[in-house]
Structure 1
């Protein structure tokens, strides 16, 4: 499977039986990219509940011709958790847009919640409202990184900075089921991020986790062993496990390096007339490469381990990222991801 085949843009998403709740007030840019992305998703067949300030959202929808005939509905939520506020603020603000989104999921009125807003607030709201899958101590942010031959699934990408070996083992099991359900990977391989391939290499956390995963190999987890940083992009394993601190650094390093590399390529191709001509010839190939490395291609990351579908995107997300996040959420719902996660998780050894 290539990176293109797993992106939301690549396939047609069937009309979901339930709408996806979008935190339409969240993110660095507020309503405009959220509403734009929701309109695009609705045109692709995904009904959306736009959660936020009713007046502002209706005004934004008015800028999109034909939006009144699309499966879009505004749900009023006059409050919003700002990007500079504390995640714990969600507990005392029931009218905050992210809380309303999670409540809609909890009550069965929405298939999933998607937010490009405060990631900590989204995680707190999901845990507080939806709870955890039975047997899961801490949920993790599951994200995709472009890699040789397709993509690598990385977790945790930032939900838990301090972890225990048992958390990583649980995430291995959850991620394995996720890839089976949504990406048709029957026996996905699991790698543990370390500073060397040998089982004895790494921190105390890594060494202890390695031993636990060795015991689970062949029992719902296909453990490859330790992998190094370069293996993330080589696609050595389908899944790479690490703590949230390291995973977030890896994610942002990858995104930053991609921008720098493309800047260098652009600079080189504009250095002289011959280079400019070469750039014109390679334009389509470079556009395809940029597509694979663009975070908006993947839309948003799944908060795996909570009893409901919750997706967290970048605060700087554009309309395309919002659309792809909504399509991905609809796919997860259509694939019955949560009940299958719960069932498979309980069937596997503790």
Structure 2
């Protein structure tokens, strides 16, 4: 099979070839039809997360090179192990990539994405920037018939992450409340669309790129703001009032500072993005504002299935998407790194 592989951290991907793996036990060999390019792929390519103040979280251990990135995967079954059960090779599947060990308490509770010994496709084991990918069990294959084939795999990360964050936000949202979506990349665009589908909240948006703000308005945002403007907070409070919830899909010092600044008393900030940096707020502000800061990491398998049902019902409209051949993986990563992507880029083997 052909892959776009990480051969050294901090370096470009390279085309590599390998024999097709033979599925064993419950494993399923999937022929990849598309794989989305996610900002997390950039962190994996770099080999670290930025912790601020010049500090880094090294994430290079436990991954043998060459390694295949890509976790937003969709395709068809090519072959299955003897314990996988009957599978229709003509069916189209999205792959839930956040596979756990299946044995620990988190996995038994259905929170495989939080497993301490994960088998996350494209993160800890080879993923979908390839012609084929090995999936550990058919339960991770989610029927994607009737769903935009270009975006089916992306719903398993950017869509699922947004869905889970919106679900967490709902407990802080009164009827006809307000939610600020911070960051309008593929993840934030999904967040805006899913917030519209799941809640009665008035959706607002913020991004540093004017074109992305315009897209958010076209998708139904009540208003869109430039968070870097000197009077950004005042503009939000004047035009929209204090937010009940802000969801930070960037995860940087600047984005989180803005997000918490526009949330009113008793509100919450849900932190999703992994851009990096440090953040501080005087301790008395938490009780005085009754402010909640919460993290949200992708989502569960049950949430993935619920999201796909929502998409199939037509309640979540497709976000902008562009297609590139697998051979252009480096160009796609470069454009994403430069902030030049609206919506999602998918790679097609």
On whether the aligned pair clears a TM of 0.5, the verdict is: no
1 or 2, which has the higher helix percentage?
Answer: 1
1 or 2, which has the higher strand percentage?
Answer: 2
TM-score w.r.t. the length of structure 1 is 0.34
